[in-house]
Chain A
Amino acid sequence: MASMKISRRWIHADDDPDSINSRLPDDLLKIIFSRLGDNQDHASVARVCRQWRDAESATREKITVNFSYAVSPGYVIDRFGQLRALKIKGKPRASDFGLIPVDWGGYGGPWIAALALARARSLYGALASLHFKRMEISDEDLALLAETFRDALQVLKLEKCSGFSSLGLESIARSCRDLRVLSLDESDIEDKGSQWLRELIHSCASLEALNLSMTGLELGDIRLVEEIVSSSKLKSLKLNDLEDPSRNRRLDLRQSSLQELGFCGLIQVSLPSSLSSFSGDLQLAMEPNLASALTSLDLLYTTANHEQHLEIIKGCRNLQVFKARDIIGDVGLELLASHCKGLQRIRIENMRQQEQHGFSISNSGMLALAKSCVHLQSFSMYVHDAANSSLEAFAESCPGLLDFRLGILETAPDMAEPLDAGVQSLLQRCPSITKLALYLKEGGLTDRGLESIGRLGQQLKWILLGCLSDSDTSDRGLVSLARGCSNLRKLEVRNCPFSDAAIVCGIRGLPLLRYLWFQCYHRVSDRHFALLGPEWRTELMPEFYSVLCYRTLVSGSRSDHPPSVRPMLGGGGGGG
């Protein structure tokens, strides 16, 4: 090996007897490539030459299709024949907030049909895990899926999907008896009875995780829950609303080996000692032993009031993940920070229109968090006010930050100072931040701030900018951001004063950008977007005042878009 001469003529590698390819057999290449961890490395390796690409494709075990229209099902299936796990994402993230037409698209049908075809030809034998996110899936699709995979399917996740009912779930339950994980998290499911659940309990003895949170499904009786838990090896159970009409049953889970539990509803529950994660409706503080054993607590959907929240937080010591609404206030945040110094992920939501509790998070709460929780990796918060001091505190104390999302409430007073300096510190001292969201208000960020994001943000992969005002920011800022963020893959912009021409310039300047969504344009011109080139598609959604641009290997515009979505002129389209 040491004496091997590497040929310089890579493009003729196959012809050259001295090239590395004639020394290394394909099998050896495959072994080497299977050791590559990062998908980025896989992609790089695949670009070297055809032989390497084929060898690499054969070793890829997990693929995530980040945007279902970026590539055709046939392409993925033809290229990666040895997949064990496939994840496909459909609708833009903005659909979580009702900002995308309901019938926009993102159909899972073509993917499932393509998989069915492949399996009928005895391909794709290793595929055991499927994850669809924000996609439209029908009952027929699920029936085909069940028929195609049968006992081969071990993991099925339909996250934030819609278009199916509990009847589709019945066909899955009946055919896929080796299912270990079934997650329907936040999917919009038409409830046609709980027969599917009985079928699931009856057939799937290997089930380890069942997630039905925030679905449209009513489980009805808590006795069904007891049945699920007692008859299976469940480690994780997340349910929707539980009802107990009699109001005096106690759900006793102490004998179970559940590690993760979630439910909503006013039910009395005896929790198991194995519990490490809880989400849902908690009214009272847990038993001290239980509370201190928790590593993950999600109070987003709890009906507890402010004081009850404080009591709950007081018992926690070892939380790594914490989610709640801002009803906890600064007091609650400070309490959390002082008790749970190992905190890694925090998310605080605000629901001003739905609840008025008078509490909010302010800059001082954030300061307390920053100084105390030095292991913070993921920060996502709606706050009443923010100043550079807290961002600088995060920069100084939390070098491990990966994901930083800050939102200022629109009901908050005017910003005292732009956050330019704080953002700059954050990017300078937290080199691992790959996701950044700044949803601010007038005066929140200036062109200088945008320019420093460009200058210091080489590692950023996703950026969300919101509500920047036209008195402090302009096209110039966007262009200087785009000049610097060479690793940017996705950009989301809302209510910012950037012209479509500047946005197009930005896209053209970003080599890795594959997706852009922006809302609130003042004028869009087909001709500007035509300059993007043939590998980009642009969709206009006039009723939603938004534009979606994405890179795709598929030629032509998609045929399954609704009337509310208008594809714009393609780049290389007309006139040969």
Chain B
Amino acid sequence: MSSMVDFLGIEEKVSTSVSAERLRKLEELTDEDVMQLTREDCRRYLKEKGMRRPSWNKAQAVQQLLSLKSLCDPSPASSGAAKRSPSPPLDEAPAKKPMAMTSIDLKAAAAVDAANLTMFYDGAVSVFDDVSPDKAYAIMLLAGDVKSWPSINVAANTNKVVISSSELPQARKASLQRFLQRRREKTAKEAASKGNSNKSPCRGESSGKHASDATDPATSPLLTEVSS
């Protein structure tokens, strides 16, 4: 009988279900192979890996299996696979109805540096280290009902690639930008031609840096359109 541990790909344990002889191991299949599977085979793999209710829709079942496969693939990011050892009582309590649980109760450990995932299943607790937020959510997506999540608190985003505010100058409405730029040029031209210091209401910057804002993931789409 498969266990939650297999579902996460943490353990090397191979499913002991009857169909194992007929089906190759999921790990041996390539993505292309998966896409060629029949719907029933997809569902069988998914159930074997612990999925409660795989989709009846073939295309969706294929997608779910691909997602599951990516979770099981050993890679640096999915270091969950690397830590196989400390897996508490879960494997001892499998004999009951396989996926009769009605909700997954997920709570993250409060560890400061690690991104842990704690799962409660069938009265037992498992803690998995270094599960990235993406993996955690992929797991939860596959498990089913969004509404059944109590509190999700995957600590410490280990992949901090989000652009910080300082690199992200605010966007300006393009039309307003063009107007002010045009006016700056005009007042500069007038000042130059007249020769006297025409006190213009706005002193602008000398460089047209705003031109690069278009492709700069910088400018903030904000607030305009007070009109209907």
Contact = CB atoms under 8 A, between A and B. Distances in A.
Interface in A76-126: 93-94, 96-99
Interface stretch (A45-53, A364-372, A520-528): A520-528
Contact of B162 (A347, A441, A492, A496): A496
A335 interface: no
Contacts of A492: 221
Contacts of A466: 220-222
Interface in B65-98: 66-67, 70
B20 interface: no
A186 B133 contact: no
A186 B217 CA distance: 23
Given A97-B173, A354-B181, A476 B151 contact: yes
A96 B221 contact: yes
A179 B221 CA distance: 34
A233 B174 CA distance: 32
B220 A380 contact: no
A437 B179 CA distance: 25
B222 A437 contact: yes
A279 B7 CA distance: 63
A323 interface: yes
B171 A467 contact: no
**Which range contains the number of A residues in contact with the other chain?**
35 or more
A442 B168 CA distance: 12
Interface in A340-368: 345-347, 349-357
Interface in B52-73: 57-60, 62-64, 66-67, 70
Contacts of A214: 175, 178-179
Contacts of A257: none
A575 B35 contact: yes
Contact of A470 (B67, B151, B157): B157
A52 B19 CA distance: 52
Interface string A550-576: 000000000000000000010111111
A267 to B, nearest CB: 14
Contacts of A186: 175
B59 A381 contact: no
B196 interface: no
Interface stretch (B8-16, B21-29, B121-129, B205-213): B205-213
Interface of A: 93-94, 96-99, 186, 214, 264, 300-301, 303-305, 308, 321, 323, 327, 345-347, 349-357, 378, 380-382, 403, 405-407, 409-410, 437, 439, 441-442, 464, 466-467, 469-470, 474-476, 479, 483, 492, 494-497, 499-502, 504-505, 508-509, 519-520, 522-523, 525, 527-528, 530-531, 533-534, 543-546, 569, 571-576
25 contacts: A94-B221, A98-B219, A300-B176, A301-B179, A303-B201, A351-B172, A353-B205, A353-B210, A354-B172, A354-B180, A382-B170, A382-B222, A405-B222, A437-B223, A470-B162, A474-B154, A479-B149, A497-B160, A501-B137, A504-B141, A505-B137, A505-B146, A520-B162, A531-B60, A575-B58
